[in-house]
Structure 1
Amino acid sequence: MLPPRCARQWPKAVLVLLDIDGTLLRTHGLGLEAMAAAGAEVFGAPFPTEKVDTSGRLDHLIFREVCAVAGFPDDDDHMARFRSTYVREMHARLKAEPQRLVTMPGTLALVDLLHDDPNVEVGVLTGNWEETGVAKMEQAGFDTSRISVRSWGDAGLHRRDLVPHAMKQAQLKRPALKPSQVVVLGDTPKDIDCAHHHGCRCLATATGAFSVEELSEADVVFPDLAESETVFKSILELAGM
């Protein structure tokens, strides 16, 4: 009699961490305009966001780097004033120019697919502060109540810090979750770096400022996320499903 076939060992969970800007949606400069306006109000002088690299950066780091370039104080009090003013400016711009926020093709369907899979925890991993991240997502049509794990830009000093912060949240529900079962989905080399630094997987999309070739160190690269079913299957495969 032949021995029984070995059953495949399925992971108990997959954690998918979604970047926002350049991945789920684009705001076509609204964010930087709001930051520049906020900084100018707080400091009474131009706040030159154009002088720093903002791709994949945390909002608080962008603030500190612009302050360093412009010679402004970057203490906690000034950052708190900047943050509240930036949030106000961002909300005003989203309301005044809603057409500038564009939901990337396939992303709404992809989040639905991920949310509806009982093995998947859906999270965000983003440089955005929570107030602006939620505002962007909701205006883009995403139901943020479906996001069970939230690693916002103030959860760490650097983007690498956001992955363990997200995993700790997910492990409250899925205690056996391992790094190899975590997939970071983003559009910059910093998304790739923060995933691989912790032994996680990365699926990159060339819908932001970087090309497929520039994102080649990701485990998988797509030109866009329009084919949501294909992207969904690729995410599960990366996590060993």
Structure 2
Amino acid sequence: MKVLLFDIDGTLINSGGAGHRAMTKAFEAIFHVPDVLKNATLSGMTDKIIFKNACATGKITYNSNNLEMFRAVYLEYLREEMPRSHPDKAICPGVDVLLKKLVQYPDIHLGLLTGNFAEGARIKLDQFNLSGYFSFGAFGDDNHDRNLLYNYAVKRFEKKTGKRPQNDQVWIIGDTPRDIACARPHNALSLAVATGEYSREQLSREAPHFIMDNFSNVDEFLNIVLNN
């Protein structure tokens, strides 16, 4: 049994900056602070942490009421932004072919582990017709700490299938050092992919178990996952 937990942005898809634009618009619409994410780091961060940091930058109180208000307005803007054309908007190389291949294996289970709010994840993946590949996961709604999302994903998989995977049967797949770090405390396996903001060299410094330039070589991916 293999449980593959995929990140979204930079791993499965590139939204062409739709999430950044939607968050920026939402924050300005609610709190009247423009361009609050201008110098922010978003890669690998949970949406809760992004909002918390934006509150600190904009000198806005971070609390549950403001978070829920921001989430609702952000999702409205995200629905508007995702359909827009952008030169960088695309499925990451090889992803569509890879997912079609993976679902043919009954012992491979596909899930998500992403910092996106759950509804935001669906909106992004729906734009590329990818949502249907993933029946469970963990999301930025669950916890602000990405490392703690692992347990949410595993518990949801167990509830869905009645099976409890061993940690070395779980793969964390993503494009940032934070994805690699998420696997480490759980003794899960990490597969880094250099299709996001970080180069292969930068990701290698974080010592993932495996690393790929992209997912175009489906046979290489299958060899890594099936034989480890």
What is the TM-score of this pair, normalised by structure 1? 0.88
Consecutive unaligned residues in structure 1, runs of 5 or more:
1-12
CA distance in 1: counterparts of 2:134 and 2:170, whole angstroms: 15
Hey, what does 1:169 align to over in structure 2?
156
- The answer to whether residue 57 in structure 2 is matched with residue 69 in structure 1 is yes
CA distance in 2: counterparts of 1:106 and 1:24, whole angstroms: 9
- The answer to whether residue 138 in structure 2 is matched with residue 145 in structure 1 is no
Go from structure 1 to structure 2 and tell me whether the alpha carbon gap of 1:85 and 1:100 turns closer, same or farther (over 3 Å shift).
Answer: farther
Alignment of structure 1 residues 93-112 onto 2, 5 Å: 93-97=81-85, 100-112=88-100
CA distance in 2: counterparts of 1:108 and 1:95, whole angstroms: 19
The percentage of counterpart residues that share the same residue type is 29
> What CA RMSD, in Å, does the superposition of the two structures yield over aligned residues?
1.5
Q: What are the Cα deviations for residues 190-218 of structure 1, in whole angstroms up to 9, with x where unaligned?
A: 00000111100011000001111111111
Q: What are the Cα deviations for residues 49-77 of structure 1, in whole angstroms up to 9, with x where unaligned?
A: 12322110000110001101210112111
CA distance in 2: counterparts of 1:190 and 1:107, whole angstroms: 21
Greater Cα radius of gyration, structure 1 or 2: 1
Hey, what does 1:14 align to over in structure 2?
2
Structure 1's consecutive aligned runs of 4 or more residues displaced over 2 angstroms after TM superposition are: 95-101
SS of the aligned residue for 1:55 comes to coil
Hey, what does 1:192 align to over in structure 2?
180
Hey, what does 2:219 align to over in structure 1?
229
> Number of paired residues?
225
- The answer to whether residue 24 in structure 2 is matched with residue 33 in structure 1 is no
Hey, what does 2:199 align to over in structure 1?
211
Consecutive unaligned residues in structure 2, runs of 5 or more:
none
Hey, what does 1:160 align to over in structure 2?
147
Give the letter aligned to residue 140 of structure 1. F
Return the offset for 1:233.
Answer: 2.3
